[in-house]
């Protein structure tokens, strides 16, 4: 008969070793807490920098705080003021236009470029050229495009030189042209990063799937709509979410190019929030705008991700 | 003595020695000079502040530690947040007029009226300047920077059409017509690249026509849609309709305006004298290429008006170093302090007795004229009335420039904003 233990049987302790001591209560507690201690730095960072800020913003949105006198509780007054304010409505509309424009140009344009560039010679140079504006700061982009859009700027001169005089106009003066012009300027910078993300996505699609579809007689159009686009869904979700959040946060470009003007016609919600906080010192009102802005982004992100993930699962 | 006891003894000695050493440090620190923190968001002031600090240390025993913030927003938020505590910066830069009113109302600023008065009595500052740095006859800020608002003119264009600097409103209008008829836009103005620039001509027309009315409008005693105010605005509208101004969207920001001015796109530009720096950057040299003049008055009263813009130095009432800061403030206002400040910071000193060499050449005559009492000084619109009104009215004025036919709507809208503000301010 074999004395060897069965595979699932624990080996007995050798006779010459002292039996293991039972852990003390403190040791047991430490072992339980240990994993959480490793999490603590990250938790403190997120808690201190993110959750505290969110809670603080939410709290001040119910006050009339101006940074120098103690805040007074005013209930929902800031939210009521914001919703009744015609400028808030205009900022909201402009922000929606920004969101639509950002989905169309950087997302749609990035996808189109990725698909086209994947197959043409000299793509490396073109990709670099398209990505180049992404390394510029927004302020620099804004300054460059301010000169492009002046009455005698590059755009109008170019249009005149090719005989399209009727298309020339003061680009930054009237709404909604000024907002649309700024979306183009912003997209010039955002196109490169979204194109790169889509290119990465396209490269992760297994070649044999595409090959098989081609053998089955799928044309380029069918390949794109029925194969590539559905397989790109996880990347598309990331690009769309990033783009939407970015467009809701649109501030610096508008601030440098028009400061939301003329006559607040190109103001976005982020500009409204900034003006109320750091120019009018109405921290409560700015907090209310921030809460509304965050709520919209949150609702959009959750519902979009849910829908996308559900479709991916299917 | 075993090892454990030795360690214990060493710990005990350290506990006794460290506070003793710290105490020693603080005793010796008492002999060291007092250093005041001076905060601002203008990095280009740093060298001047440091130089002033060194001079002040020699003269008064009070040194300066310059604290620069890279962003105006974070600077304002940090200063405002600390002002009600004893962590407040003893010295800090701010914006004058109504931009500092809420700090005054909350009792956060030290009263510096006595320091002003002493230096006015010595003939160093015009008495009317103090009013821009306080309220109801009391001053709460010191003039770190003063800029006069003047008309810059392109000397080459003036020479080409045989034009002279105008001394009356009629001469100015004739000059504008000459330029216009020769295809040169008389005045540069843009409310697109420069949102706030919409107030420049509104303010100037007001002080040139009726400075008393301007002041009462700023304090809420006169309505924006008062017939007298509307009549002055109509005069501006006539100039807009006559095509005397550049088109909205013609240039990007003020540096763009400087380039267009250098290119001869327009003949004159009304702005603060700090525009000199932008023109020099664009390649123009004062005297050879451009000059400045004060816009002539539409009325006799308006002929003596001069708009000023200032950057005040403030002292925090709650700072534990408040009294030392007041002592430094006196040195700062003096001829010696201002001379060093002007020489090292390249800023035109408002001290009338500061040596002429410290001023940019084209502003010497103006400074002398101010010193002689030739002008009444009026605070720039941006700071002359509450920011809650200004920030909204500049947008309405911008719309008016784009669409001059909307004059009455603009003034009614401005009055609504002003009325709402004054009603809530009065109710507080």
Q: Say which of A68, A151, A170 has its CB closest to residue B102.
A: A68
Please state the rounded mean pLDDT for residues A142-168. Answer: 91
**Residues of B in Cβ contact (< 8 Å) with A275:** 391
Look-up of token digits 């027309």: B205
Question: What are the tens digits of pLDDT across the range B75-126?
Answer: 988 898 899 899 999 999 999 889 899 899 999 999 999 999 999 999 998 8
Instruction: With beta carbons under 8 A apart, name residues in chain B contacting A261.
Output: 191-192, 195, 395, 398
**Separation CA B372–CA B379 (nearest Å):** 19
Question: For chain B, how are helix, strand and coil distributed in percent, rounded to 5?
Answer: 55, 15, 25
Give the mean pLDDT of A230-244. 89
**Rounded mean pLDDT, B139-159:** 94
Chain B partners within 8 Å of A172 (Cβ): 192-193, 249
- Tens digits of residue pLDDT in A83-126: 998 889 999 999 999 999 989 999 999 999 998 888 787 788 88
Select the residue of A68, A146, A263 nearest B106 (Cβ to Cβ): A68
> What digits encode the pLDDT tens for the residues B313-358?
999 999 999 999 999 999 999 999 999 998 888 777 888 888 878 7
Give the closest of B196, B391, B395 to A280, CB-based: B391
**Chain B interface test: which of A144, A150, A276 (most B C-beta within 10 Å):** A150
Q: In chain B, whose CA is at the least distance from the CA of A70?
A: B84
Residue A35 is predicted with a pLDDT of 87
Q: Do A68 and B80 touch (CB under 8 A)?
A: yes
Nearest chain B alpha carbon to A267: B395
Give the pLDDT confidence score for residue B22 in this predicted structure.
42
pLDDT, position A16: 52
Q: What is the DSSP letter of B295?
A: P
Asked if residues B249 and B190 have their Cβ atoms less than 8 Å apart, the reply is yes
Which pLDDT tens digit goes with each residue over B346-368?
777 888 888 878 777 778 888 88
Structure tokens at B381: 């619109």
CA distance A133 to A257: 17
**B99 neighbors B383 (Cβ within 8 angstroms):** yes
Cβ within 8 Å, pair A278-B73: yes
As a whole-number percent, the residues of chain A with pLDDT over 90 amount to 45
Q: Name the residue among B106, B195, B250 with its Cβ closest to that of A262.
A: B195
List chain B residues with CB under 8 Å of A263.
395-396, 398-399, 402
Digit-coded pLDDT (tens) for B41-69: 888 888 889 999 999 999 999 999 999 99
Whether A262 sits inside 8 A of B81 (CB atoms) is: no
Question: Could you count the other beta carbons within 10 Å of the beta carbon of residue A184?
Answer: 15
DSSP notation for B108-156: -B---HHHHHHHHHTTSS-HHHHGGGEETTEE-EEEEEEEEEEEEEEHH
pLDDT reported for residue B145: 86
Q: Give the up-direction half-sphere exposure of residue B245: CA atoms within 13 A in the CB hemisphere.
A: 21
Chain A contacts of B76, Cβ < 8 Å?
A: 278
**Residue A3 token pair:** 């004395």
Give yes or no for a contact between B36 and B64, defined as CB atoms under 8 angstroms apart.
yes
| Alpha carbons B87 and A65: distance in angstroms, whole number | 20
pLDDT the model gives residue A81: 92
Residue ranges per structural domain of chain A: 25-59, 79-137+177-313
Q: What is the CA radius of gyration of chain A?
A: 28
Q: What is the pLDDT averaged over residues A280-308?
A: 90
Report CB contact under 8 Å: A170, B247: yes
Q: Please choose, from the candidates A152, A55, A217, A214, the residue with its C-alpha nearest in 3D space to the C-alpha of residue B185.
A: A152
Contacts A90 to B, Cβ<8 Å: none
Q: Count of A–B CB contacts within 8 Å?
A: 84
Residues of chain B with pLDDT > 70, as a percent, come to: 92
What gap in Å lies between CA A283 and CA A300, rounded to an integer?
25
Return d(Cα B40, Cα A290) in angstroms, integer: 28
| The predicted structure's pLDDT at residue B329 | 95
Cis check for the bond before A262: say yes or no (omega within 30 of 0).
yes
How does DSSP classify residue B251?
S
CB contact under 8 A, B395 and A261: yes
Best of B70, B252, B265, B416 to mutate (most A CBs within 10 Å, chain A):
B252
**Smallest CA–CA distance from B247 into chain A, residue:** A151
Q: How far is CA B125 from CA A188, B114, B121, B305, B383, in A?
A: 53, 13, 8, 17, 20
Query: Taking a C-beta distance cutoff of 8 angstroms, is the pair B13, B41 a contact?
Result: no
Mean pLDDT of B305-311: 92
Find the mean pLDDT for residues B243-268: 90
Cα B422–chain centre separation: 24
Q: Cα separation of B62 and B37, whole Å? A: 11
Given a cut of 60, is residue B10 above it in pLDDT?
Answer: no
* The two structure tokens encoding residue A142: 């804004």
Give the SS3 label for residue A195.
Answer: helix
Q: How confident is the model at residue B305 (pLDDT cuts 50, 70, 90)?
A: very high
Q: What is the pLDDT of residues A15-29, one digit of tens each?
A: 455 555 667 888 888
Chain A residues inside the 8 Å CB shell of B387? 279-280
pLDDT: which is higher, B97 or B268 = B268
Q: Across all residues in chain A, what is the average pLDDT? A: 87
For A280, the closest of B247, B250, B388 (CB atoms) is: B388
* Structure tokens that stand for B279 in this block: 């023109």
Cα B148 from Cα A50, distance rounded (Å): 46
Q: How far is B13 from chain A (nearest CA, A)?
A: 34
- Residue B180 · residue B246 · CB < 8 Å: no
Task: Find the chain A residues whose C-beta atoms sit closer than 8 A to any C-beta of B.
Answer: 66-69, 143, 146-147, 149-153, 170-174, 258-264, 274-275, 278-281
Domains delineated in chain B: 34-146+311-380 (3.40.190.10), 148-307+382-427 (3.40.190.10)
Q: What pLDDT band is residue B426 in, cutting at 50, 70 and 90?
A: low
Average pLDDT over residues B293-316: 94
**pLDDT at B9 exceeding the cut of 50:** no
Q: Is the pLDDT of residue A279 over 50?
A: yes
Q: Are A71 and A159 in contact (CB under 8 A)?
A: no
User: A79-137+177-313 adopts what CATH topology?
Assistant: MetI-like fold (1.10.3720)
Average pLDDT of chain B, as a whole number? 88
Distance CA A86, CA A47 (A): 36
pLDDT single digits (tens) A32-63: 888 888 999 988 888 888 888 899 999 999 99
């Amino acid at each position: 008969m074999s004395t060897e233990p069965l595979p699932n049987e624990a080996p007995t302790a050798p006779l010459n070793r002292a039996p293991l001591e039972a852990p003390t209560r403190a040791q047991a507690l430490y072992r339980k807490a240990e994993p959480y201690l490793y999490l603590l730095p990250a938790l403190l960072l997120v808690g201190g920098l993110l959750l505290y800020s969110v809670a603080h913003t939410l709290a001040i949105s119910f006050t009339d705080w101006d940074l120098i006198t103690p805040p007074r509780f005013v209930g929902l007054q800031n939210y009521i003021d914001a919703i009744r304010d015609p400028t808030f409505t205009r900022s909201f509309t402009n922000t929606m236009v920004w969101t639509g424009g950002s989905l169309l140009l950087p997302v749609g344009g990035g996808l189109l470029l990725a698909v086209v560039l994947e197959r043409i010679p000299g793509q490396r140079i073109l990709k670099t050229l398209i990505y180049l504006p992404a390394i510029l700061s927004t302020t620099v982009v804004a300054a460059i495009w301010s000169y492009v859009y002046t009455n005698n700027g590059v755009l109008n001169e170019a249009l005149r030189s090719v005989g399209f005089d009727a298309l020339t106009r003061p680009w930054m003066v009237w709404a909604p042209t000024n907002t649309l012009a700024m979306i183009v300027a912003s997209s010039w910078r955002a196109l490169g990063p979204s194109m790169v993300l889509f290119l990465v996505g396209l490269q992760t699609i297994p070649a044999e799937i595409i090959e098989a579809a081609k053998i089955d007689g799928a044309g380029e159009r069918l390949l794109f709509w029925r194969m590539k686009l559905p397989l790109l869904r996880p990347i598309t979700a990331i690009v769309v979410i990033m783009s939407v959040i970015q467009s809701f946060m649109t501030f610096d470009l508008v601030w440098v190019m028009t400061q939301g003007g003329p006559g607040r016609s190109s103001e976005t919600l982020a500009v409204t929030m900034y003006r109320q906080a750091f120019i009018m010192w109405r921290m409560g009102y700015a907090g209310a705008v921030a809460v509304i802005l965050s709520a919209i982004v949150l609702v959009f992100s959750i519902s979009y991700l849910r829908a996308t993930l559900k479709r991916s699962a299917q | 003595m075993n090892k454990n006891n030795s360690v214990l003894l060493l710990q005990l000695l350290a506990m006794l020695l460290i506070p003793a050493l710290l105490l020693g440090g603080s005793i010796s620190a008492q002999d060291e000079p007092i250093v005041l923190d001076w905060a601002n968001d203008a990095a280009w002031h740093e060298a001047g502040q440091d130089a002033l600090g060194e001079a002040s240390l020699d003269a008064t025993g009070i040194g300066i530690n310059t604290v620069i913030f890279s962003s105006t927003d974070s600077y304002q938020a940090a200063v405002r947040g600390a002002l009600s505590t004893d962590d407040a910066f003893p010295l800090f830069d701010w914006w004058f007029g109504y931009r500092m009113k809420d700090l005054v109302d909350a009792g956060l600023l030290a009263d510096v009226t006595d320091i002003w008065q002493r230096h006015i009595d010595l003939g160093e500052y015009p008495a009317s300047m103090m009013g821009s740095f306080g309220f109801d006859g009391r001053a709460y800020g010191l003039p770190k920077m003063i800029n006069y608002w003047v008309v810059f003119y392109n000397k080459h264009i003036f020479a080409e059409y045989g034009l002279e600097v105008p001394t009356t409103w009629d001469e100015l209008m004739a000059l504008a017509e000459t330029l216009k008829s020769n295809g040169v836009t008389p005045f540069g103005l843009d409310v697109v690249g420069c949102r706030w620039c919409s107030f420049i001509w509104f303010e100037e027309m007001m002080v040139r026509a009726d400075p008393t009315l301007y002041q009462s409008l700023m304090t809420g005693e006169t309505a924006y849609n008062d017939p007298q105010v509307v009549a002055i605005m109509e005069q501006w509208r006539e100039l807009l309709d006559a095509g005397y101004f550049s088109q909205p969207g013609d240039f990007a920001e003020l540096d763009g305006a400087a380039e267009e001015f250098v290119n001869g796109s327009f003949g004159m530009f009304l702005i603060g004298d700090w525009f000199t720096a932008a023109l020099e950057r664009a390649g123009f040299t004062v005297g050879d290429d451009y000059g400045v003049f004060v816009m002539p008055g539409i009325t006799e009263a308006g002929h003596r008006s001069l708009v000023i813009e200032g950057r005040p130095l403030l002292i925090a009432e709650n700072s534990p170093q408040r009294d030392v800061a007041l002592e430094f403030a006196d040195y700062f206002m003096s001829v010696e302090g201002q001379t060093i400040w002007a020489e090292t910071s390249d800023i035109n000193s408002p001290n009338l007795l500061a040596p002429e060499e410290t001023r940019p050449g084209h502003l010497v005559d103006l400074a002398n004229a101010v010193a002689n009492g030739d002008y009444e000084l009026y605070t720039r619109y941006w700071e002359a009335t509450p920011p809650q009104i200004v920030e909204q009215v500049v947008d309405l004025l911008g719309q008016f420039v784009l669409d001059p036919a909307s004059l009455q709507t603009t003034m009614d809208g401005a009055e609504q904003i002003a009325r709402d503000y004054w009603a809530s301010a009065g109710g507080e």
